[in-house]
């Protein structure tokens, strides 16, 4: 992996953002700012730099990032803003294969969540399944808005960690 980070650390800012900008949903500004923290020793230090950028972002930027995430379990093909990464992640949890009853449950809970918090429900679906996601929706509806924002940002960092690992693995094989 050190050869990969030799390559990563040698990237121009533009190329760095091209490769790592999609890690945070529709928010390349995180990669752009994280580039200033290079050189990176490895995956963990790069991820820590990106998490620090997010932590230091203002409230408007954080909410824009949260709201850039798609609603879970929409019918595939309905959301034109759904990135290929999000579509694959949702499919990995079976959200592209819901029964009519499951879809109805997701729709009702997503609507209640959005009405209460003004943002989409975010969970690292690659580390979950349909039932755990539904249970998470039900449980997290009890959170305060402040607690839910922090939970959403923590979940976004989990998603970013997995996406970063995917990009680094592709780079490792692109020698």
Looking at 26, 35, 37, 69, which residue is catalytic?
69
- Give the pLDDT of residue 81: 65
What the block records as the tokens of 49 is: 């730099």
Active site residue 35: no
Three-state SS sequence of 112-152: HHHHHHCCCCCCCHHHCCHHHHHHHHHHHCCCCHHHHHHHH
Ranges in the chain, pLDDT < 50: 76-78
Prediction pTM value = 0.90
Nearest in space to 66 (alpha carbons), one of 121, 112, 28:
121
> What is the structure's pLDDT at 77?
43
* C-alpha–C-alpha distance, residues 109 and 90, integer Å: 17
Asked if 27 and 64 touch (Cβ cutoff 8 Å), the reply is: yes
HEC per residue, the chain: CHHHHHHHHHCCHHHHHHHHHHHCCCCCHHHHHHHHHCCCCCHHHHHHHHHHHHHHCCHHHHHHHHHCCCCCCCCCCCCCCCCHHHHHHHHHCCCCCCCHHHHHHHHHHHHHHHHHHCCCCCCCHHHCCHHHHHHHHHHHCCCCHHHHHHHHHHHHHHHHHHHHHHHHHHHHHCC
- At the topology level, CATH places domain 65-163 in UraD-like (1.10.3330)
Q: Are 55 and 17 contacting, i.e. CB atoms less than 8 angstroms apart?
A: no
- Provide CATH 1.10.3330.10 ranges for the chain: 65-163
Per residue in 99-110, pLDDT tens? Answer: 889 889 999 999
């Amino acid at each position: 992996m050190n050869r990969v980070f030799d390559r990563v650390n040698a990237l121009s800012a533009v190329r760095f953002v091209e490769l790592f900008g999609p890690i945070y949903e529709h928010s390349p500004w995180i990669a752009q700012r994280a580039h200033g923290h290079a050189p990176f020793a490895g995956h963990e230090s790069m991820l820590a730099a990106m998490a620090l950028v997010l932590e230091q972002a203002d409230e408007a930027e954080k909410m824009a990032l949260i709201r850039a995430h798609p609603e879970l379990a929409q019918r595939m093909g309905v959301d034109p803003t759904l990135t290929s990464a999000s579509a694959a992640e949702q499919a990995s949890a079976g959200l592209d294969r819901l029964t009519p009853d499951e879809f109805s449950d997701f729709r009702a809970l997503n609507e209640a969540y959005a009405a209460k918090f003004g943002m989409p429900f975010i969970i690292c679906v690659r580390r979950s399944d349909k039932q755990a996601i539904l249970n998470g929706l039900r449980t997290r509806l009890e959170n305060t808005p402040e607690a839910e924002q922090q939970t959403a940002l923590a979940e976004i960092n989990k998603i970013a960690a997995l996406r970063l690992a995917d990009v680094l693995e592709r780079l490792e094989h692109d020698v």
